[in-house]
Amino acid sequence: VCLLLSLTEAQILSSKLLSPSNDKTPGEKHSEDYCAMYDICGKRSDGKVVNCPYGSPAVKPDDLLSSKIQSLCPTITGNVCCTEAQFETLRQQVQQAIPFLVGCPACLRNFLNLFCELTCSPNQSLFINVTSIDKVGGNLTVGGIDYFVSDAFGEGLYDSCKDVKFGSANTRAMDLLGGRAKNVKEWFAFIGKKATPGGLGSPYAITFQPNATKERKPAYRTKSVSNVVSGGMMYSRNQEKDENLPMHQIIEDVSQNRNEVRLSAVQGYMSNFYRKYGSYVARNPIMVLASSLVIVILLCLGLIRLKVETRPEKLWVGPGSKAAEEKHFFDSHLAPFYRIEQLILGVPDHMNSTSSRIVSEDNIRFLFEVQKKVDAIRANYSGLMHYSSADKCMSAFKGPLDPSTVLGGFSGNNYSAASAFIITYPVNNAIDEEGNEIAKAIAWEKTFIQLVKDELLPMAQSKNLTLAFSSESSIEEELKRESTADVITILVSYLVMFAYISLTLGDTPQPSSFYISSKVLLGLSGVILVMLSVLGSVGIFSALGVKSTLIIMEVIPFLVLAVGVDNMCILVHAVKRQELELPLERRISNALVEVGPSITLASLSEVLAFAAGSFISMPACRVFSMFAALAVLLDFLLQVTAFVALIVLDSLRAEDKRVDCFPCIKVPSLHADPDKGTEQRKPGLLARYMKEVHAPILSIWGVKIVVIAIFVAFALASIALSTRIEPGLEQEIVLPRDSYLQGYFNNVSEYLRIGPPLYFVVKNYNYSSESTHTNQLCSISQCNSDSLLNEISKAALVPDTSYIAKPAASWLDDFLVWVSPEAFGCCRKFTNGSYCPPDDQPPCCAPGDGSCVSVGVCNDCTTCFRHSDLHKDRPSTTQFREKLPWFLSALPSADCAKGGHGAYTSSVELKGYDSGIIQASSFRTYHTPLNKQADFVNSMRAAREFSSRVSDSLKIEIFPYSVFYMFFEQYLNIWKTALVNLAIAIGAVFIVCLVITCSLWSSAIILLVLTMIVVDLMAGSKVHKPHRSSTCTTVL
């Protein structure tokens, strides 16, 4: 029988050894020169090794391995689908069977061919299909395969071996090697049975699939073949499927299999890339490390052009902002709003009701002392308008003063019960913020603040009064101070994180080998790489002329450190999970194949999520997102290049028994041997908890339902809470806790009974007699009932909704009154037609003791107009043009309080007004007290709605302006901005997941979980701080 089979079956049956699983054309998934499973990914508890379930191209072995393979498997030439470790495992296993079958060469040859083709054939994917996956030692391994064998070969193999005898045991070999099988089906079932731990059998289940219609003739081939499962696709087949299906039908039906586990083509290509790349880095660690460091250091050279933007208006206002455009119009046509320096002198809360009143003779005298101190620093180009003791109840420009602007802490109009003085110093501002005028103002402000701290504050405390203070530049200076102080915090955090990394990256501490197995130097190098990625990002943008911000310096290092630490731990632990018997090159390669795609997926998602923030119009958030996206990208690139090279060098150090941190010192093997075997590398406490406790509990159906229900409930509750988030970002939160501005903002909320000034700006006012604009704007007699000023007065009657506290101060009304004949002490002229001031002003009188003494110079002055000179009590176009400059330069006094100098100096643009058109003019009122961020946002919205309505009604272009508008405009549409950017960010993550995994279901789950996390975070911010949110934090 043996001789017959050796002559006939050796060629025929061996040629029919395997039947392909399908008739695939080149380029499709299951094709030649591709492996279904390659390399060893784990070792069972009984010592049996298990293959990796990843497909990859067949590889060309070195000459030594090729000769070893052909000595056992002469049919295998060229490329192979097995590593040296796999082949050695095959050789050891079949060597045990050779003594039983050596008596029949044909049986032995066919038996060897069966397992040679299974293990090393370059055509492996044509007849092998991975059907299930196990997890061994934390790695995915083959759990079961389908092995397609032609019916002719199976029957011939059995016939060639069924009668072979094992003489020493006086029994048939089939009784020992085939479990007393009576046919080929029973024999294949016995061979393919998955062994229990410590038992006999295969390390994974092998299901031999018959396919009588598909046979392959050449048994001895030289052409290398590839794996159909290109990209590492793995199938877990439903047991109810037809076992005779050819491979192409299995692939076509695979999407219908419930238990499928699939790696996409992209993941497969990434795995192949990381396998080759890992081998390259392991062979050339110095070159990879040096080149990556050189590149990132070159990027850091851009830091020589680093500029930090600290101006709030440049940080929070986009260039296309409507509020910014309106501010520019106001500043360029009228005048920039003053720089505000303010003192709030108050009575402590513990004082009784009588002594809690601030208005007393002693306190007023103290005010004069304060004034003298402040006057002493006025010389440095301060451009102040201030109050003095001789002015009594008149301001320095002789006009009446609204008590609510200088008193605080009273109810209604009971000014005598006020508990605070509000002392305001308006300093002239300038449009060119880089110019000399602003520098002079800032210098004065610094001196002013220092004066308050050193002298005024002790003076107030000695009189049992409180003193809060602020200047225009205070917020900016305090933020700079905080950033300087935060440098120490950042350094400490990096040191703590360095210590954490050093401990977690190392092996379990053992006194005999801790100085070798520790990873202190590796952890330090990893932290340095994170810092370099941040510096590289800042360097690139600095070279491009993009200014950095303080938030970038404070937040991005922590952010990138968190991401970098995660990747470092993943990479190091992936290398540590590899078998120590494998060469270092193979361990690095396998580790990158294992975790490289997941790190790439996570990093790309993070980069795209941050990049989505670059669409935000707010400069601070946009720049932050750009810097963060590039920093995370550089960090990822450094992790997979420089850090992998450092892992290689550290592994070489440990294998060579060199001391961590002092690699020049080598310890003899007698004293330290940290790598005695894989049995020493036990999983950590957290890993054991996850594997032995957490995962088993979570796999229980009841637990799954409870967990999902809890998190769905959290999500629904978070959605409800998120709708209550109010926009805004309190300044107290941003500033240091020890800042003097904390007390100032508290006093502003407590004492102020009037809000910020509000200007209604009118464009292109036509003052000619033919135009109706005058009556559409004014509020005196003959003015329209729905005029702008009348509408403002009406709105002031409902301050809760309009946020307008008072009727507007109208230069137009005062001018029309000033030129009227009834105000005979106001608009006057000399006989030569020049302007004549009131009798109580020079040159009509000379200063005397407490009064102005008439000198008779103005005895001949007459009023500018008689009733007959006016048309319906309105000046003509010419009269309006001539007398308007007189009015704006006229000082108010007791004889005529309507003078426009001071009150309206910057309310009218006279440039080009000769044409009958005043290009810009403003009417001033006040907002109601704005104590919360929502008040600022709502007041701005109400003012814009009011202006829009009046503009449409009067057909005149009008817009509101207040100094805080441009900082709060972002909050008008913050929900829309936040939702759009969140959608972009989460959508980008979804697309990345879909492209890489090719699994719509998995990507949808990730999308859902991310959405739930974001919603929960928003709700958490509501619970933690009930009314704070911002675009930047929401997108983050």
Residue 316 falls inside a structural domain = no
Residue 630 falls inside a structural domain = no
Residue 698 falls inside a structural domain = no
> Per-residue pLDDT for 937 more than 60?
yes
Instruction: State the Cα–Cα distance between residues 232 and 234, nearest whole angstrom.
Output: 6
* pLDDT score at 1024: 53
Percentage of the chain exceeding pLDDT 90: 22
Residue 37 sits in the same domain as residue 113: yes
- The amino acid sitting at 566 is D
Number of domains in the chain: 3
Residue 205 sits in the same domain as residue 328: no
pLDDT tens-digit readout, 569-585: 888 888 888 877 788 88
Residue 502 falls inside a structural domain = no
> What pTM was computed for the model?
0.63
Residue 960 falls inside a structural domain = yes
Residue 823 sits in the same domain as residue 903: yes
Residue 228 sits in the same domain as residue 369: no
Residue 358 sits in the same domain as residue 470: yes
- The amino acid sitting at 334 is L
| Residue 729 in tokens | 């970002």
Residue 259 sits in the same domain as residue 325: no
Residue 123 sits in the same domain as residue 233: yes
Last residue of a domain, one of 942, 969, 996: 969
Last residue of a domain, one of 214, 245, 263: 263
pLDDT tens-digit readout, 741-782: 888 988 988 888 899 999 999 999 999 988 999 999 999 888
Residue 328 sits in the same domain as residue 235: no
Per the document, the length of the chain is 1036
pLDDT confidence bin for 947, thresholds 50/70/90: very high
For residues 177-192, give the mean pLDDT. Answer: 86
Structural domain harbouring 430: 321-476
Residue 917 falls inside a structural domain = yes
Which residue is associated with the tokens 């090719």? 998
Residue 543 falls inside a structural domain = no
User: Using CB atoms within 10 A of its CB, is residue 644 exposed (0-12), middle (13-18) or buried (19+)?
Assistant: buried
For residues 963-987, give the mean pLDDT. Answer: 84
For residues 422-428, give the mean pLDDT. Answer: 87
> Per-residue pLDDT for 418 more than 70?
yes
pLDDT averaged over every residue in the chain: 79
For residues 1001-1008, give the mean pLDDT. Answer: 88
pLDDT tens-digit readout, 729-740: 777 777 778 888
Residue 575 exposure: Cα atoms within 13 Å on the Cβ side: 27
Taking each helix axis from N to C terminus, what angle separates 584-612 and 974-997, rounded to the nearest 10 degrees? 150
Percentage of the chain exceeding pLDDT 70: 82
> Per-residue pLDDT for 10 more than 80?
no
* pLDDT score at 245: 35
Residue 115 sits in the same domain as residue 208: yes
Residue 255 sits in the same domain as residue 362: no
> Per-residue pLDDT for 556 more than 60?
yes
pLDDT confidence bin for 1000, thresholds 50/70/90: confident
Asked whether 110 and 17 are in contact (CB, 8 A), the reply is yes
Asked whether 789 and 923 are in contact (CB, 8 A), the reply is yes
Residue 238 sits in the same domain as residue 342: no
Residue 815 falls inside a structural domain = yes
* pLDDT score at 524: 83
Concatenated DSSP letters for 328-379? HHHHHHT-PPPEEEEEEEE--TTS-TTTT---SHHHHHHHHHHHHHHHTTTT
Last residue of a domain, one of 242, 263, 284: 263
Residue 792 sits in the same domain as residue 933: yes
The secondary structure of residue 36, as a DSSP letter, is S
